[in-house]
Amino acid sequence: MPSHLLPKFKKESVEKTILVGLEQVGVAKWELLESLEELRELARTAGANVVEVVTQKLDHPTAPYYIGKGKAEELLPLATQHQATSIIFDDELTPAQGRNLEVLLSRKVLDRTQLILDIFASRARSREGRLQVELAQLQYLLPRLTRMWGHLSRQTGGIGTRGPGETQLEVDRRRVQERITRLKEDLRGVRQVRKTQREGRLRGQWPLVSLVGYTNAGKSSLLNLLTQADVFAEDKLFATLDPTTRELTLPNHQKILITDTVGFIRKLPHTLIESFKATLEEVVSADLLIHIVDLSHPQYLEQIEAVEKILAELGAAQKEILLVFNKIDQVKNPVLIETQLTRFPGSVAISALHGLGLNEFIHALETHLSTSYVQGCYALPPDQSALLAAIHRTGHVISLHYDGAMSIIHALVPSQLTQRLKSFKQ
Ligand code: GDP
Ligand code: MG
């Protein structure tokens, strides 16, 4: 994609930043390092350059500064030395921690949640995506408004700022609250439209396949390869925010709808999971999930686990899954590919970028979809001619006879049709 079409990032893309993480009870050192590595990627995606990473071993975060006071004080000279304009903490800070740290360090203090929200905000392209991000941002902001106000009164300072400041704070709170209410209403409207569209699609009776996987695993690349759709793919986290659905006809003439989803990531802020549930409903309503794994990533097993955890949170853990190992062109040791394919029966190995293993993948896809037929016998009243037509169109009719006005049909029907047929089952 030409660079002028990429979403615009903040111009100060050389912003220098320091990352701070805590090695807490129950968190292994490698987990912390992985989390910080991901935070570095997130910072890079948001346009910042990480100049230093600071960690501390502590049983629990401290209430005033998250890290210990001594450690927090050490950050000031460090930031000055590196000319860092911001400091990013690897977990969500409480409003008090954020405020105290900003006062102590006199520069921008961000946490993981804010960073993720910032990236989402700069990349949201659909109306629904934009509404969701703004809502999540305001929900994050609301309990922190005093901190923002602290800023302003410090800037204007002096006698008399306190009284009006307090009043203004109340006004701001109310405005933010009103905006939140408004956004929720707008979102309800947008979601209703989407729901109707989704149901419309279901009426089309094509199976819905959703691409899921850790961020950067190659979901968008695979969708591109399959449909030659120009879906935005690039080497940054969260390149895809909004789901993109494409139509695809498999070699066996089976038509499917295939949806790209937002990349999954560790420690995704809970408000974000909540507000993106609607987007991720595509995942929950899918007939088949294609879980794409970057096999060239040293932590691919942990990434598989992280994705499965999020799927469980979305209530999609029981879905049928086709596991796809991607980027095999980057895997140095071919034995690894073989062992993983054996370890995960039914999985396939591909390179979405170079089109390797595409035939095996398509074959696996066809097999998975063809197994989702269910045999049943249904008695349909005359006003259900549309349903009868749907069975003819998408299923395999074994027998059909009439009992008075009722059509008695015995057929193999696609599983996604069984829901609508439930009340007619014999
Ligand atoms: P997504 O976040 O899961 O949608 O990942 P993308 O499709 O955006 O891909 C992330 C990066 O990995 C891009 O730079 C792709 O070009 C690259 N990529 C995807 N598939 C492959 C592959 O099979 N081999 C290699 N070497 N790179 C790949
Ligand atoms: Mg993508």
Residue 158: inside a domain, yes or no?
A: no
The predicted model gives 99-104 an average pLDDT of 94
- For the ranges 180-194, 251-265, 279-293, 363-377, the maximum mean pLDDT occurs at 180-194
Top pLDDT among 6 and 417 is at: 417
Residue 199: inside a domain, yes or no?
A: yes
Residue 211: inside a domain, yes or no?
A: yes
Read off the pLDDT of residues 217-241 as tens digits, 9 standing for 90 and up. 998 889 888 876 445 454 444 444 4
CATH code: domain of residue 273: 3.40.50.300
Which pLDDT does position 348 carry in this prediction? 97
Which pLDDT does position 129 carry in this prediction? 77
Reply yes or no on whether the pLDDT at 17 is more than 80: yes
Residue bearing the CA closest to ligand 1, atom 24:
327
Residue 323 and residue 414 in one domain: no
Residue bearing the CA closest to ligand 1, atom 11:
235
Residue 147 and residue 246 in one domain: no
Residue 223 and residue 290 in one domain: yes
Residue 228 and residue 342 in one domain: yes
Which pLDDT does position 85 carry in this prediction? 94
Reply yes or no on whether the pLDDT at 247 is more than 80: no
Read off the pLDDT of residues 129-165 as tens digits, 9 standing for 90 and up. 788 889 989 998 998 887 555 555 445 545 545 555 5
For the Cβ of 220 lying below 6 angstroms from any atom of ligand 1, the answer is: yes
Residue bearing the CA closest to ligand 1, atom 25:
327
Task: Please choose from 353, 356, 358 the residue to mutate so as to test ligand 1's pocket, defined by most ligand atoms within 8 A of CB.
Answer: 353
Q: Amino acid identity of 66?
A: Y
Which pLDDT does position 10 carry in this prediction? 47
For the Cβ of 197 lying below 6 angstroms from any atom of ligand 1, the answer is: no
Q: How confident is the model at residue 266 (pLDDT cuts 50, 70, 90)?
A: low
Residue 148 and residue 113 in one domain: no
Residue 237 and residue 309 in one domain: yes
Q: How confident is the model at residue 57 (pLDDT cuts 50, 70, 90)?
A: very high
The predicted model gives 344-350 an average pLDDT of 93
Residue 162: inside a domain, yes or no?
A: no
Q: The pTM is what? A: 0.64
The number of domains in the chain is 4
The residues whose Cβ lies within 5 A of ligand 2, an ion, are 219-220, 239-240
Query: What is the extent of the structural domain holding 173?
Result: 125-152+167-203
CB atoms near residue 46 (< 10 Å): 24
Residue 329 and residue 248 in one domain: yes
Reply yes or no on whether the pLDDT at 389 is more than 90: no
Q: How confident is the model at residue 12 (pLDDT cuts 50, 70, 90)?
A: very low
Which pLDDT does position 7 carry in this prediction? 39
Residue 379: inside a domain, yes or no?
A: yes
